[in-house]
Amino acid sequence: MMRLLRIRDLEYFIAIAENGSFSRAAQACGISQPTLSAQVRRMEDLLGVTLLERRHGHTSITTEGAEVLAAAREIMDAFHRVQRTTKGDGVLLGRPMRFGILPTVAPYLAPHFLTTVAELSENSDITFVEDRTDQLEAGVASDHLDFAITATLPRANALTALPLGDERLVVVSRHPLPETVSLDGLNGPLLLMQEGHCFREVVSEAIRRAQLRFEPAMSTRIGPSSFATLVSLVRAGVGDTILPEPYARQSAEAVAGLSVALMEPLSEGRQLHFVVRAGRERYRDVTRLVEAARDAHRLVGGDIGEPAGSSALANSPFAPTL
């Protein structure tokens, strides 16, 4: 009968590497040192390599042992994920996490979200990348990202989206604006983000609908790829622009001295989504992360549980100038 490695063998080997000695590893594993030594010898016999060198009471890992150790840790991580999957606890929280977020959302949402997640998890190794929607979806689908925060529904069947909240749109101009303004009431050209950004698509759709209603002669210019540069161009008098309300709210210093008005109709806007691989939405970890993202979005001025623009205008933080 073929002898095979066991999960216990990997656990013992990892314990030796992490504790630096057989005696401490044996104590951590709750077994005797002779038993631990026998298990390691068995593992070395099965693999046909020397995993550890023992000299003068010091234990070091060989080159082959380092390769086996890396693989053993991957196997144990996967093993523990399988054990926890039925409840969804520890699948994401409590281990290094990497998520993706749109560059048009990250500036105002990421700081609050990271703070909230840090309170949920003892693990501080939480990183994120900014990228376009298609790249974020590909990252989640391939497990290079644990989840992503986007502003469109995923196109791949392997992914599912949970709503985070709605965002209204605001117009930013050098010229005085009323509390609310429709696009046909603007005189200057509108500055748009570069093609490929989903927020440009949101604004382009709003412009298209405005033209159907009023048939205004609306000129547009291709702008940069960041909100900060759009605002600087507005300040320089190049044109007006449209931003998500939470960004303008959280970037009061950036838009200081400019006019900021809610765009009519108030139903115009976008919805943020929490994107994960299909099936993972039932994990309790995912539920907790979604709630953390919703809390962060509320803090920056997003609405949850109602269509964009359904809030009373009286609740708007914007006066004609900010």
Q: Which of 81, 268, 102 lies closest to 169 in space, CA to CA?
A: 268
Helix (H, G, I), strand (E, B) or coil at 116: helix
Task: State yes or no: pLDDT of 261 exceeds 90.
Answer: yes
What's the average model confidence in pLDDT over 31-44? 89
Q: Residue holding tokens 């759009």?
A: 230
Residue 40: φ, ψ to 5°: -70, -40
Give me the pLDDT at residue 303, please.
Answer: 61
Q: Which of 243, 283, 248, 290 lies closest to 148 in space, CA to CA?
A: 290
Give me the pLDDT at residue 291, please.
Answer: 95
Give me the pLDDT at residue 231, please.
Answer: 92
Give me the pLDDT at residue 123, please.
Answer: 58
Lowest pLDDT segment from 48-57, 96-105, 154-163, 218-227: 218-227
State the Rg of the chain over Cα: 27
Give me the pLDDT at residue 91, please.
Answer: 64
- Of the ranges 108-112, 119-123, 155-159, 185-189, the best mean pLDDT one: 108-112
Helix (H, G, I), strand (E, B) or coil at 293: helix
What's the average model confidence in pLDDT over 202-222? 78
Lowest pLDDT segment from 11-25, 146-160, 262-276: 11-25
pLDDT band for position 54 (50/70/90)? confident
What's the average model confidence in pLDDT over 279-301? 90
Q: Is 93 exposed, middle or buried (0-12, 13-18, 19+ CB in 10 A)?
A: buried
Q: Which of 275, 286, 282 lies closest to 93 in space, CA to CA?
A: 286
Task: State yes or no: pLDDT of 193 exceeds 70.
Answer: yes
Question: At 55, which helix (H) or strand (E)?
Answer: strand 52-55
Residue pLDDT, tens place only, 11-37: 888 888 888 888 888 887 778 888 888
Report which DSSP code applies to 164: E
Give me the pLDDT at residue 79, please.
Answer: 76
> Which one has a higher pLDDT value, 211 or 102?
102
Give me the pLDDT at residue 283, please.
Answer: 85
Give me the pLDDT at residue 313, please.
Answer: 32
Q: Which of 233, 262, 224, 104 lies closest to 174 in space, CA to CA?
A: 233
What's the average model confidence in pLDDT over 203-209? 86
Task: State yes or no: pLDDT of 319 exceeds 60.
Answer: no
Domains of the chain and any CATH numbers: 7-85 (1.10.10.10), 97-165+270-299 (3.40.190.10), 167-269 (3.40.190.10)
User: What is the token pair recorded at 6?
Assistant: 């066991």
Residue pLDDT, tens place only, 58-103: 788 999 999 999 999 888 877 766 655 555 566 677 778 889 999 9
Q: How many of the other CB atoms lie within 10 Å of CB of 69?
A: 19
What's the average model confidence in pLDDT over 204-226? 77
How many whole angstroms separate alpha carbon 98 and alpha carbon 55? 40
Give how far Cα 303 sits from Cα of 32, 103, 292, 295, 315, Å.
59, 20, 14, 10, 11
Q: Using a cut of 0.75, tell me whether the model's pTM lies above it.
A: no
Task: State yes or no: pLDDT of 243 exceeds 90.
Answer: yes
Give me the pLDDT at residue 305, please.
Answer: 38
Give me the pLDDT at residue 160, please.
Answer: 94
How many whole angstroms separate alpha carbon 32 and alpha carbon 47? 23
> Which one has a higher pLDDT value, 311 or 287?
287
What's the average model confidence in pLDDT over 119-144? 85
pLDDT band for position 3 (50/70/90)? low
Contact 210, 184 (CB under 8 A): yes
Residue pLDDT, tens place only, 102-112: 999 999 999 99
300's CB contacts (< 8 A; 6+ apart) are: 108, 109, 112, 246, 249, 250
